Structure 1
Amino acid sequence: MRNIFISMLATVFITACSSNGNKFDASGTFEATEVIVSSELSGKILSLTVNEGDTVSASRVVGTVDAEGIELQKEQVEASISSLNDKTADVGPQVALLQNQLAVQQSQLNNLLHEKQRIENLIKQDAATGKQLDDINAQIDVVRKQMGVTQQQINVQRNNTSTQNKSILSESKPLQKRVEQLNDQLKRADIVNPINGTVLTKYAEAGELTSTGKALYKIADLGAMKLRAYVTGDQLSQIKLGQQVKVLVDDGKDKYKELVGTISWISDKAEFTPKTIQTKEERANLVYAVKINVKNDGYLKIGMYGEVVFK
């Protein structure tokens, strides 16, 4: 819509060129690539330091949107991560109790083994009976089984606690990712200028509320302008992409300033001649739009008229 609007601004003043002896092949108006800079967050604009007419470099931070709510969310998630360790269980006391029990059983086993050795010696001297040896062996088997059960209890206690703690600590990774997401949103609180250019229009001021995608200002690189002109079908054979052409712009009364331009785009579709655009041929039915890159020396403006002479 912007390009159409600019094109419709052109007038038939070009006829004055022929009366002064100047000849041209096509005419049109100058455009620039305009970028609408928007906020990436919703909130109150804390600062916006650009003004209309300012020249602003790319990647420069030109303002900030209030992100206190996001900062609080980040602190909450970080607190949740810190509290995970408090939720884990300490297996130490339970294991220590079972290990003490195991040590007592080991002491009992040692005593029984010593008593067994004594009875075996007495049997060799016919001072003890086989039944006494059988009884002591049975007691040894009971104590050994008790020790096996206690050791299993220690292993089960450790495994259960480890599994429980892993389940709790596994929540840390998703929470860390959430912190990274919030950090990314905090970065978006800064309003970063995307291109080198001049601020054309400012839509918002510090202190106002904004939302995601809402326009804050419009900027364009005026160092390289594009002249959008129209040629007839007969003229297509005279031009090609990359071709250098002569561009004429007004320079006072009955005078023209000459610039060098390069054809950067040729439309592949014909269109009806815009009513306010004059071409070389008088009111051709169908024309083709072309764009010509022209280096701006500071005098070219958006919407300014220009004529083209094909070399």
Structure 2
Amino acid sequence: MNTRAKILVVIAVLAVAGGGFWWSGRHKGEGPLVLQGNVEVRQVNLGFKVAGRIAQLDVDEGDKVEAGKKLASLDKVYFTDALGQLRAQREQFAANLAKMVAGNRPEEISQAEANVADREASLANMQLTVERAQKLLKNAAGTQKAYDDATQAVKQAQAQLDSARAAEKLMKAGFRQEDIDLARAQLADRDAAIAIAERQLADADLFAPANGVILSRVRELGAIVNAGETVFVVSLTTPVWVRSYVSEPDLGRIKPGQEVELRTDTPSIKPLKGRIGFISTTAEFTPKTVETRELRTALVYRLRIVADDPEGVLRQGMPMTIAVAEPAPQGSSQ
């Protein structure tokens, strides 16, 4: 082996040894762990829960909104009319139930009792007529037909008295329990329908679910929209999440709650603070957004960082450099 070949072999050995030293030192936890990531794109499509015509738009593209702010409203005349109709029906069912629970009025019961007394008097009169017809028939002063007519009249009066007494009993007993239960169920049905109508009326207003910025206004004033149809696209700004990936050898150097420093590529933006909020329990291949040719088959773990952005300088999709502070050794004094 000539001198040139020996020199090349020595260089190769030193390169391998140096690479091994760098690789082993890389995993000893010396110095901060630096990761790359992006501000997560978090947006939501907002639409009404009910169909209708857009009557009011309170925000436009680029406007900042806070959670609970009203963004738009539908024409509410149909909702209010339907609600008024249901409330009127509810009053009708409530009155009917109250009547059944209270039973019949004392005046109605007195009328039934008077009708019974009238029928009893009629029956007594018919019985006297039968007795007179019977005496006349025995004395040959009356006819058989007159006696038979008087007898039938007694039977008819007796039937009418029985009917009057039954009506009096029903009047005093009041309504059947089954009828009362039916009236109560009808009232409950109207109450449920009113609750649905009230929710539909409330859903005619569209509110922001969280703090954010209006990215786009999809529909215009006066448009007819279906339930769930997108009206606004809102970019959520609170909290700000940064997504990054950590390789398996560095997984032991991070933990949830650990503080990090976030830097952007914009020099005017000062470093921001953040903390690790989530570390995936499942490994995955390096995403194409961060992989190199050498790392296409490397496994990484996804993590989410919650950024402190009090001035609102971060934008969705912005590249971020993340410096993870090394945790203090256990038992060391602060």
- Equivalent in the alignment of 2:323: 309
Deviations 1:141-168 (A, max 9, x none): xxxxx99985554122344667797477
Q: Is the 8 A contact 1:56 1:196 kept in 2?
A: yes
Distance 2:181 2:246 in 1: 72
Shift of residue 26, structure 1, vs aligned partner: 1.4
Higher relative contact order structure (alpha carbons within 8 Å, sequence separation ≥ 6): 1
Please report how far the alpha carbon of residue 40 of structure 1 lies from its aligned counterpart in structure 2 after TM superposition: 0.5
Q: 1:186 aligns with which of 187, 198, 201?
A: 201
CA distance in 1, matches of 2:221, 2:255: 48
Question: One-letter code of the match for 2:49?
Answer: E
Alignment map for 1:135-150 (pairs within 5 Å)? none
The alpha carbon displacement at 1:260 in A equals 1.6
Secondary structure of 1:270's partner?
strand
Letter in 1 for 2:282: K
Per mean C-alpha deviation after superposition, the further-off stretch among 37-46 and 148-157 is: 148-157
- The answer (yes or no) to whether the contact 1:39–1:214 under 8 Å persists in 2 is yes
The CA deviation string for residues 200-256 of structure 1, in whole angstroms up to 9 with x for no partner, is 22222221121111122122332432221122111112111111112211234xx87
| TM-score (ref. length: structure 1) | 0.67
Identity among equivalent pairs (%)? 24
TM-score (ref. length: structure 2): 0.63
How far does the alpha carbon of each residue in 1:98-134 deviate from its partner, in whole angstroms, 9 at most, with x for none? 43345668999xxxxxxxxxxxxxxxxxxxxxxxxxx
Q: CA RMSD in A?
A: 3.9
**Structure 1 contact 35–220 (Cα < 8 Å) conserved:** yes
Question: Matches of 1:287 and 1:80 in 2, distance apart?
Answer: 64
Query: Whole-Å Cα distance in 2 between the matches of residues 193 and 276 of structure 1?
Result: 31
Q: Which residue of 1 aligns with 2:84?
A: 75
Counterpart residue type for residue 193 of structure 1 = A
CA contact (8 A) 2:211 2:237 kept: no
268, 275, 282: which one aligns with 1:269: 282
Most deviating of 88-97 and 26-35:
88-97
Structure 2 residue identity aligned to 1:56: V
Count of residue correspondences: 253
In 1, the alpha carbon distance for the partners of 2:175 and 2:254 equals 80
Which residue does 1:206 correspond to in 2?
221
| Alignment partner, residue 25 of structure 2 | none
2:262 is aligned to: 247
Q: Which runs of 5+ in 2 are unaligned?
A: 1-31, 123-159, 326-334
Which position in structure 2 is the counterpart of 1:234?
A: 249
Residue in structure 2 matched with residue 40 of structure 1 by the alignment: 49
Q: Match of 1:50, as an amino acid?
A: V
- Residue 292 of structure 1 is matched in structure 2 by 305
